[in-house]
Amino acid sequence: MAKLPLILLLLLPVILTLLPSTTAEIKTLTIKDDPRPMILFEQFGFTHTGYATITASSVSVVSTLATPDASKLGFFLLSEESLIQVLIELQQNAFCVLDSRFIIKLFDFRELSPPPASSFNRTFPVTSPNEYSLFFANCAPESKVSMEVRTELYNLDNAGRVRDYLSAGLTQLPTLYFLFSIIFFAFLGVWIYICIQNRMSVHRIHALMGLLVVMKALNLLFAAEDKHFVKSTGTPHGWDVLFYIFQFIRVVLLFTVIVLIGTGWSFLKPFLQEREKKVLMIVIPLQVLANIASVVIGETGPFIQDWVTWNQVFLLVDIICCCAIIFPIVWSIRSLRETSKTDGKAARNLAKLTLFRQFYIVVIGYLYFTRIVVFALRTIAAYKYQWVAYAAEEIANVAFYTVMFYMFRPVEKNEYFALDDEEEEAAEMALRDEEFEL
């Protein structure tokens, strides 16, 4: 009787933390000669009208030892609260996780139809509302499993007739994304109006910023459609393809705009220095890799063996990009500070330094909130309120776009660059201060 490796059990809380809030659309997947003792399929928040449908077909188990015990292979649900109890239980006793009293066992391989069909299909009601992870356990020593698995996790509405394939805490996402798409389309209208009113002050960077808003609005619109179809039918009907395309364009544009604004391109100077070009040449390919990882994570699931690796790649690349886009802003601040010592335009340089220092703080705050605070919200929020983290992230996006676009709006007499000569002396004193050193 095989015991689940302790190291795997200790890693389970970390894996569950990495697991994004699943949309739990109907998934069909193939497992081929898989020796893993435990496979995590997905995580889902059930209400009191929750159901789990598991269909397994073409099941075969190959072992180098004796014929595997069918009771030692099967599917079960495990809540996060029960995970600790299972860990303690398995540390104290050498037995299979399927025998634990803290799991909700769905079925084991004793219930399979006899060979050669070797299949199973049943729907299980989930009577205790909670967030559960769906696992497959293989406690048979030296054995490999092959099978086709189809999973359907869903809740019924109050009338008990309509299925909702979104987790209990994410069922609000279609409405949430649609509302924020309207906000960004309205944002685009305001930006176009400002650019038309100040057309003489419009630069290429302003057109690129407008394109960024278009991509963000379309990304949210297609995200709303994607989640709507998943919620009602269990499949995205191709909307996920448009979502990923516009997400890729939007993310690449966002990092590019931040880098270009940070260098002062088009706004202060019409060219990029060699080191600034290198930053873009690093950030854009890394964002391509990050988006590939995002698609793999979103479209497959933790059941694939390299799922954790793809998560690590995504997090590492995202951190590198977030650090890289800060450097051009720092370079601009230092360059402006050096220039202020020789060109005799203290007030103008002070205005530029103030602008870029504020932009530096805004970018740092935005990255910190969307990477750290939002992640913390997703981790600590009750499963019924996971939508709050998504709402907080989009609110942060609206706030960041508003501040960034306001600071670098096309205005003929921008307050940062139209200071009176009488302020020169005060500006010179301020420039001697070290407050602009980063």
Task: Identify whether 116 is preceded by a cis peptide bond (ω within 30 of 0).
Answer: yes
Residue 427 has pLDDT above 70, yes or no: no
Is 135 in contact with 38 (CB distance < 8 Å)?
yes
Give the percent of the chain with pLDDT over 70: 81
Contact 402, 191 (CB under 8 A): no
How does residue 107 score in pLDDT terms, banded at 50, 70 and 90?
Answer: very high
End of a domain among 135, 164, 193? 164
Choose one of 164, 184, 206: the last residue of a domain. Answer: 164
**Do 153 and 182 fall within a single domain?**
no
Phi, psi angle pair for 136, to nearest 5°: -115, 130
**CB-count exposure of residue 34 (10 Å: 0-12, 13-18, 19+):** middle
Is the pLDDT score of 13 beyond 60? Answer: no
Tell whether 211 and 345 lie within a shared domain: yes
Residues 182 and 105: beta-carbon distance below 8 Å: no
94-116 average pLDDT score: 87
Q: Out of 136-145, 196-205, 314-323, which region has the weakest mean confidence (pLDDT)?
A: 314-323
User: Which among 366, 290, 273, 247 is positioned nearest to 328, based on CA atoms?
Assistant: 273
Looking at residue 278, its pLDDT comes to 81
Whole-number Å distance between alpha carbons of 287 and 257: 14
Residue 17 belongs to a domain? yes
Same domain, 266 and 147: no
For residue 165, pLDDT over 80 is answered with yes
> What is the arithmetic mean of pLDDT over 127-137?
92
Q: Check residue 5 and give its pLDDT.
A: 45
The stretches of 78-172 forming alpha helices (DSSP H) are 80-92
Q: What pLDDT is stored for residue 436 in this prediction?
A: 47
Instruction: Give 231-269 pLDDT, tens digit per residue.
Output: 999 988 888 889 889 998 998 899 889 888 888 776 666
In a domain, 1, yes or no: no
**pLDDT tier for residue 343 given thresholds of 50, 70 and 90:** low
Residue 21, pLDDT score: 47
| Judgement on whether residues 49 and 17 belong to the same structural domain of the protein | yes
User: What are the tokens at 305?
Assistant: 């063996």
- Token readout for 20 is 């994004």
What pLDDT, on the 0 to 100 scale, is given for residue 395? 97
Region 102-121: mean pLDDT is: 88
Query: Do residues 263 and 273 make contact, with C-beta atoms less than 8 angstroms apart?
Result: yes
- Count Cβ atoms below 10 Å from residue 143 Cβ, excluding itself: 22
CATH number at residue 306: 1.20.1070
Determine contact, residues 26/164, Cβ cutoff 8 Å. Answer: no
Does 178 lie in the same domain as 159? no
State the pLDDT at residue 86: 85
- In a shared domain, residues 223 and 100: no
Both 234 and 301 in one domain: the answer is yes
- Spell out the residues 6+ positions from residue 311 whose beta carbon is closer than 8 angstroms to its own: 18, 293, 297
Q: What is the pLDDT of residue 237?
A: 84
pLDDT at 418: 43
Q: What is the CATH number of the domain that holds 94?
A: 2.60.120
pLDDT in tens, 264-308: 776 666 666 777 778 877 887 887 787 777 777 776 667 666 777
Are residues 273 and 370 part of one domain? yes
Q: Is there a single domain that holds both residue 185 and residue 290? A: yes
Residue where one domain finishes, among candidates 100, 130, 164: 164
Instruction: Say whether both 185 and 311 belong to one domain.
Output: yes
141-145, 288-292, 317-321: range with highest mean pLDDT: 141-145
Arithmetic mean of pLDDT over the chain: 82
The DSSP element (H or E) to which 237 belongs, if any, is none
CB 75 within 8 A of CB 172: no
> Would you say residue 122 has pLDDT above 70?
yes
- Cα dihedral 332→336→339→341 (10° resolution): -140
Q: Which residue has the higher pLDDT, 105 or 433?
A: 105
Please give the pLDDT value at position 161. Answer: 82
Domain of residue 358 covers 173-432
The confidence score (pLDDT) of residue 346 equals: 54
Please determine, for residue 341, whether its predicted confidence score (pLDDT) is greater than 50. Answer: yes
Q: Are residues 159 and 87 in the same domain?
A: yes
Which of 243-257, 375-389, 402-416 shows the lowest mean pLDDT across its residues? 402-416
16-20, 275-279, 341-345 — which is least confidently predicted?
A: 16-20
- Which pLDDT value is given to residue 354? 75
pLDDT in tens, 348-381: 666 777 788 888 889 989 989 988 898 889 888 8
pLDDT tens digit sequence for 48-104: 999 999 999 999 999 887 788 889 999 999 998 888 888 888 777 777 889 888 999
Categorize the per-residue pLDDT at 130 as very low, low, confident or very high, splitting at 50, 70 and 90.
Answer: very high
pLDDT recorded at residue 271:
62
Per the structure block, which two tokens stand in for 360?
């530096």
- Whether residue 196 is contained in a domain is answered as yes
With b meaning 16 or more CB within 10 Å and e meaning fewer, what string describes 290-314?
bbbbbbbbbeebbbeeebbebbebb
Instruction: Based on the fold, state whether residues 185 and 261 are members of the same structural domain.
Output: yes
Q: Which tokens go with 31?
A: 């497992």
Give the separation between CA 121 and CA 113, rounded to whole angstroms.
Answer: 10
| β-pair partners for 335 | none
Domain assignment present for 437: no
Q: Say if residue 150's pLDDT is above 80.
A: yes
| pLDDT for residue 219 | 95
CB contact at 8 A, 369 and 154: no
Q: How many domains does the chain have?
A: 2
- Contacts of residue 216, defined as CB under 8 A and 6 or more positions apart, other chains included, come to 184, 250, 254, 397, 401
